[in-house]
Chain A
Amino acid sequence: MKLAVLVNEGPYTHQASDTAYQFTKAALEKGHEIFRVFFYHDGVNNGTRLMVPPSDDRNIQKRWTELAEKHKLDLVLCIAAAQRRGLLDDSEAERHGKDASNIAPGFRISGLGQLIEAGIQADRLVTFGD
């Protein structure tokens, strides 16, 4: 089955991102296709490479990045939600005159149209979050 995943909550505060990750990983292992993982609302915070969780805990960003590398996953942060919350890639940082970017490898920033497209193209769009 062709699946798309929507992650609506940030890392650590909510378990939604953990569950989305476990779901995505399990689906891939079962041979399903993940068309895209789209991060919205505070979910965009999953894509900062600056998170430094305690070493005895999971690193949520790194986990997504590694899964993306292994399976060529498309991890997309909503640009409007990302800009509000201070998530920038190099070109956005330059465009807005900021001195740094913080998006993690394996993630990209794009528009909400990518969510709608995922809804159209996938057999199921599965939402994680409240």
Chain B
Amino acid sequence: MTDDIMEGGGKIKKFLYVNRRAPYGTIYALESLEVVLIAAAFEQDVSLAFIDDGVYEIVKGQDTKGTEMKNFSPTYRALEGYDVEKLYVEKESMEARGLTEKDFLVPVQVLTAGEMADLMESQDVVLSF
């Protein structure tokens, strides 16, 4: 990947990764996280949003033994080490699922749907998974 790192050409853009799906059942959440980890090497302005079932991706206490899926949730705690610290959860999605901020593995900022829309509007590149 070292070649890639040089190819950004010094530009810094605002990247928002929108996570909309449950962590298991489909591969989107896992492969989204893989993009975020690679992207961290590019020194861009990175934010993550969790909406809809995506809020389940960062819920504490995930246990995947019964389904033989890889539990990748500890990786979200490593994001801080990659300077990925702007994590946003949509309030409506969180509340509709009976969750509170205390249920999450990582510190998050809770935004209303309207605030989330403003956040998306302010970005250069929005990747939705």
Interface residues of A (CB under 8 A from B): 6, 8, 40-41, 80-81, 111-117, 119-121, 125, 127
Contacts and interface: CB of A to CB of B under 8 A. Distances in A.
B20 to A, nearest CB: 9
Contacts of B38: 111-113, 116
A119 B125 CA distance: 6
Interface size class of B (residues with CB under 8 A): 20 to 34
A88 to B, nearest CB: 18
Interface stretch (B9-17, B57-65, B81-89): B9-17
A19 B118 CA distance: 28
Contact of A111 (B1, B15, B27): B1
B4 A81 contact: no
Nearest to A6: B127
Given A80-B34, A119-B15, A113 B27 contact: no
B28 interface: yes
A80 to B, nearest CB: 6
Contacts of B24: none
Interface stretch (B39-47, B91-99, B104-112): B39-47
Contact of B11 (A41, A80, A115, A120): A120
A11 B89 CA distance: 33
